[in-house]
Amino acid sequence: MSENNKIGTYRFVAEPFHVDFTGRLTMGVLGNHLLNCAGFHATERGFGIATLNEDNYTWVLSRLAIELDEMPYQYEDFSIQTWVENVYRLFTDRNFAIINKDGKKIGYARSVWAMISLNTRKPADLLALHGGSIVDYVCDELCPIEKPSRIKVTSMEPASSLNARYSDIDINGHVNSIRYIEHILDLFPIELYKESRIRRFEMAYVAESYYGDELTFYKDYVGDGTYDVEVRKNGNEVVCRSKVIFVGK
Amino acid sequence: MSENNKIGTYRFVAEPFHVDFTGRLTMGVLGNHLLNCAGFHATERGFGIATLNEDNYTWVLSRLAIELDEMPYQYEDFSIQTWVENVYRLFTDRNFAIINKDGKKIGYARSVWAMISLNTRKPADLLALHGGSIVDYVCDELCPIEKPSRIKVTSMEPASSLNARYSDIDINGHVNSIRYIEHILDLFPIELYKESRIRRFEMAYVAESYYGDELTFYKDYVGDGTYDVEVRKNGNEVVCRSKVIFVGK
């Protein structure tokens, strides 16, 4: 297979209710599109959720890191490319490029996925699946952004808290991966979004949370426009961590 | 122009992060798609926001009523048809049909729009615009659901309140029309969504709210699975009203 055939390309438009007050696509919506592209690309190659579910397996997102020079503006066309960078026994790295209306690459993303058994909730051996054919899709396309980092939050003072409600919950009964992004973006005052934009956004998904869980958000400012965020449920257990790096416009 | 040429048809798929814990598309996402279709259809006919903005006019959504036999399930294709039912001096009625993967009409929606001047914020005369050509698009397609009703809420006890945050705000600096729907859906416990589904959902948009505004939600149960909701900002001014009718599954 040529390297080009290993890359999936999907087209989008920045819809009016998907942009923020500056007219730029929100990070939550971009995250949603990235995860959809991962699904399309995997499905087209026989590794989609529907096929996996038949064998009682599913994909679980572990890490996501997005880095951008700019976000698409309202009504602008853009596209997302995705490909598999690595496959290990328990994890696979999937990368993305975000391409603007003029065909220019305006950002990249990295994601790390595991496959789990729906029966045991234990990780599956990716190299054993479909006779190891997943490695045929590994592609050496360039993704010039750093890998997801380790995030450590020290603040003991909650920045915010909420109870997970109807709109937060996905078909698996979990708070959905995109809602965490939206709740984290809402920790920052609008003034910050007026004078700066998010250059890099990272998520580390650690544990699931459920309807009614109290989610508490802890936030450290670590200098240079960088914030580390930790979300805990019901007082202690870590649900996810995030790093948000703002730069002046 | 034949009646068929007056109807716009747009295709969608029920994405995984757009369905709720039952696997069905959420009312907020359907509302977003409806409003996008309104935008596509108007733009294709020279009445889109972009064209209007050049002349310092814009569309303002006043009412929305959606009634459904069922919602598309995760990964299902569906389509939305839209057409103009009436044009008056200050308002226009735009209707919708929601069509499932098998081509069956599973629901309808009605919307009422005004056009305002961005300079004066006053309503514009729709019949004067483009030499009155908007009436050429009026179509007598059937929309067998009731018009939006008058909603009256008597409860003095808030069901919930929140402050409008970054993710709530659209490019005009207002809380966006879809976020109100999501916040209203979150007033109901998940148990209600387990045993029943929303058969009809109405919104009446009354006034704008802004970043930082305290939104307070009042809710009356009026019997037969029907709830009336009123959203007020900063203690008194009504922002919008909603009627939500649940039926057993």
Q: How confident is the prediction for chain B on average, in pLDDT?
A: 95
Mean pLDDT taken over chain A: 95
> pLDDT tens-digit profile of B88-134?
999 999 999 999 999 999 999 999 999 999 899 899 999 988 788 88
Is residue B1 scored above 70 in pLDDT?
no
Q: Among A71-85, A139-153, A168-182, B50-64, name the one with the lowest average pLDDT.
A: B50-64
**A1 falls in which pLDDT band (50, 70, 90)?**
low
Which residues of chain A have a CB within 8 Å of the CB of B26?
167
Which of B167, B209, B246 to mutate to test binding with chain A, by most A CBs within 10 Å of its CB? B167
Contact A16 B22 (CB under 8 A): no
pLDDT in tens, B142-162: 999 999 999 999 999 999 999
Going along chain B, which residue ranges are E strands? Answer: 8-13, 57-68, 77-87, 92-99, 105-117, 160-163, 196-205, 214-221, 226-233, 237-248
User: pLDDT digit string (tens) for A110-138?
Assistant: 999 999 998 998 999 999 887 888 889 99
Topology of the domain comprising B3-137: Thiol Ester Dehydrase; Chain A (3.10.129)
Residue in B2, B42, B211, B63 with CA at minimum distance from that of residue B130: B42
Give strand pairing partners of A246. Answer: A198
B contact test, residue of A13, A20, A21, A77 with most B CBs within 10 A: A21
What is Dmax (Cα atoms) for chain A?
53
Report domain A158-248's class.
alpha beta
* Rounded CA separation A145/A169 (Å): 31
**Of B17, B74, B176, which has the smallest distance from its Cβ to A35's Cβ?**
B17
Using the beta-carbon criterion (under 8 Å), do B19 and A75 form an inter-chain contact? no
Query: What is the rounded distance in angstroms from the CA atom of residue B108 to the CA atom of residue B184?
Result: 20
When pLDDT is averaged across residues A186-192 and rounded to a whole number, the result is: 98
Please tell me if residue A177 touches chain B, with a CB cutoff of 8 Å.
yes
In sequence order, the 6+-apart residues with CB closer than 8 A to the CB of B197 are B22, B24, B70, B71, B246, B247, B249
Say which residue, B133 or A246, is predicted with more confidence.
Answer: A246
Nearest-angstrom CA–CA distance, A53 and A244: 33
**Among positive and negative, which fits the CA dihedral A164, A166, A172, A175?**
negative
Residue B153 backbone dihedrals phi, psi, to 5 degrees:
-115, 135
Residue A174 has pLDDT above 70, yes or no: yes
- Kindly report the nearest CA distance between residue B220 and chain A, in angstroms: 19
**What pLDDT is attached to residue A195?**
97
One fold for both B3-137 and B160-248? yes
* pLDDT tens digits for range B180-211: 999 999 999 999 999 999 999 999 999 999 99
Q: Where are the domains of chain B?
A: 3-137, 160-248
Kindly list the distances between the CA atom of residue A4 and the CA atoms of A27, A111, A139, B44, B63, in Å, as whole numbers in the listed order: 27, 20, 9, 35, 48
pLDDT in tens, A196-214: 999 999 999 999 999 999 9
> Order of strands across the sheet with A196-205?
A8-13, A77-87, A92-99, A105-117, A57-68, A196-205, A237-248, A226-233, A214-221, A158-163
Q: Is the domain defined by B160-248 classed in CATH 3.90.1150.10?
A: no
Instruction: Calculate how close chain B gets to A57, using CA atoms only, in Å.
Output: 16
Closest CB to B182 among A22, A36, A167: A167
pLDDT at B45 over 80: yes
- The one-letter amino acid code at B152 reads K
The three-class DSSP label of residue A237 is strand
- B165 Cβ under 8 Å from any chain A Cβ: yes
User: A122 vs chain B: nearest CA distance in angstroms?
Assistant: 22
Residue A110 pLDDT: 98
Written as one letter, the residue type at B135 is V
One DSSP character per residue, B57-125 reads: EEEEEEEEEEEES---BTT-EEEEEEEEEEE-SS-EEEEEEEE-TTS-EEEEEEEEEEEEETTT-PBP-
